[in-house]
Amino acid sequence: MTRRHVAAWLKGRSGERRLALRTTLAGLITFTLAHLLNLPQGYWAVLTSVIIMQASVGGSLKAGLDRMLGTVAGAIWGVSVTLTLPHRDTLSLGLALAVAVAPLALVAALKPNYRVAPVTAIIVLLSTTGVQLGPMHYALDRVLEIGLGCLIGFVVSLLVLPTRANRLLAEAAAELLLALRDLLALLLRDIAQSPDGAAVIATHLKLSQALSRVEGFLDDMNRERVNWLTDAPDAQPFVRTLRRLHHDLTAIGRTVTEPLPQPASQFVAEATGSLRVAISDYLGNSAVSVSRQVAPPSLAFVDKALREFQHSLDGLRQSGTLQRLDIDEVERIFGLAFALQQLRSNLGDLADRLAEHASPSRPGNRNVP
């Protein structure tokens, strides 16, 4: 790989570069402080500052709090077991280890943010250094070292090229909207034929992954809001709308899994194609809007295409074609119409949410097609 290829590869990964810089800087600062403070095992602090560094400030705050809570809980329980149960031989040490680990493992299973607690208890109980210094002294050293690493990691995350969760959520939401656009194109490409099953499954997987990222960044963003680390508006309604759009396309997918009957598809095929283009364009432009934090595009083209679809559906009713179809086929036709109406309603909600999150300094253009 040439230098030019490496430069091109790094150019599109500014977020990853910032995270790498913050992680490196946090490790170096913690190493320096651990050395100046003459901490007995300063590498615990360095490891912690690196481990808690996340993509967003809210993520780093959560990781630091989780590690600190788990360390304190594990240290307290580990010291209690060490001082209470004699463990001079292998059998008694194994019994003490079981007593130290089992309750904390259960707590970690119920509350994953305590997953470091069993590890800390094991270190306090089994460490040879702990035997020399005494469990209380050794546990206190660990808590101080972990605390230093958490503090430095969070401060670096907050002050050095900080990335707020709302920015990451917007990027993930833009990916989700583009995946929704791709899924709609697959489902309504030709209602007289079944969609490409493998492509639909792959797109659903991409959608699920994007939605998981959105929801993860929503948690980080809520944490930043609670701790006054951001003034971004609440993103919960926006994420809820994205979920509903996903459900709408799932409902549409159920109606077109099999081709619509030929007599009916002739009436609505052209209007469905126009509606697919209009909604796909709207989803693509919405992805741009959320990414750039500008006002949403206009729904005028979608509404026009939906009126044409309803007009073609009225023509289908008046033609008497529905009377010659099976009840299941009729249900699928009107199920598609209902799902498209629901999709339009939720696209209106999406427009409202995009307008809420648009930056005042970048108002954009509500009439963008």
| pLDDT greater than 60 at residue 368 | no
At 353, the amino acid letter reads: R
> Are 154 and 171 in the same domain?
no
Q: How many C-beta atoms lie closer than 10 Å to residue 298's C-beta?
A: 16
> Are 205 and 59 in the same domain?
no
Range with the poorest average pLDDT among 46-50, 158-162, 209-213, 298-302 = 158-162
DSSP letter for 297, please. Answer: P
> Are 91 and 197 in the same domain?
no
> Are 232 and 288 in the same domain?
yes
> Are 47 and 181 in the same domain?
no
- Which residue's structure tokens are 């170096």? 28
Residue 14 in 3-state DSSP?
A: helix
Q: Domain boundary at 159, 179, 205, which?
A: 159
| pLDDT greater than 50 at residue 25 | yes
> Are 127 and 41 in the same domain?
yes
Q: Domain boundary at 121, 138, 159, which?
A: 159
> Are 73 and 144 in the same domain?
yes
> Are 254 and 171 in the same domain?
yes
Give how far Cα 54 sits from Cα of 21, 23, 24, 249, Å.
12, 9, 12, 33
The pLDDT score that the predictor gives to residue 214 is 95
When pLDDT is cut at 50, 70 and 90, the band that residue 366 belongs to is very low
Residue 59 in 3-state DSSP?
A: helix
Q: Is residue 363 part of a domain?
A: no
When pLDDT is averaged across residues 12-28 and rounded to a whole number, the result is 87
Q: Is residue 366 part of a domain?
A: no
Residues 6 or more apart whose Cβ sits within 8 Å of residue 336:
191, 252, 255, 256, 260
Beta strands in the chain (DSSP E): none
When pLDDT is averaged across residues 45-67 and rounded to a whole number, the result is 93
H helix and E strand count, the chain: 14, 0
Q: Is residue 369 part of a domain?
A: no
Alpha helix positions (H), 188-261: 197-226, 236-255
Range with the poorest average pLDDT among 8-12, 353-357, 363-367 = 363-367
Number of domains comprising the chain: 2
The pLDDT score that the predictor gives to residue 100 is 92
| pLDDT greater than 80 at residue 289 | yes
> Are 189 and 41 in the same domain?
no
Q: Domain boundary at 126, 159, 192, which?
A: 159
Residue 15 in 3-state DSSP?
A: helix
Q: Under a CB-based contact definition with an 8 Å cutoff, are residues 64 and 52 in contact?
A: yes
> Are 185 and 154 in the same domain?
no
Q: pLDDT tens across 173-230, in order?
A: 999 999 999 999 999 998 888 898 899 999 999 999 999 999 999 999 999 998 888 8
Q: Is residue 365 part of a domain?
A: no
| pLDDT greater than 70 at residue 9 | no
The pLDDT score that the predictor gives to residue 118 is 94
Q: Is residue 367 part of a domain?
A: no
Report how far residue 232's alpha carbon sits from residue 357's, in angstroms, rounded to the nearest whole number: 8
The pLDDT score that the predictor gives to residue 258 is 86
Q: Under a CB-based contact definition with an 8 Å cutoff, are residues 214 and 48 in contact?
A: no
Domain of residue 142: give its range.
3-159
When pLDDT is averaged across residues 68-92 and rounded to a whole number, the result is 90
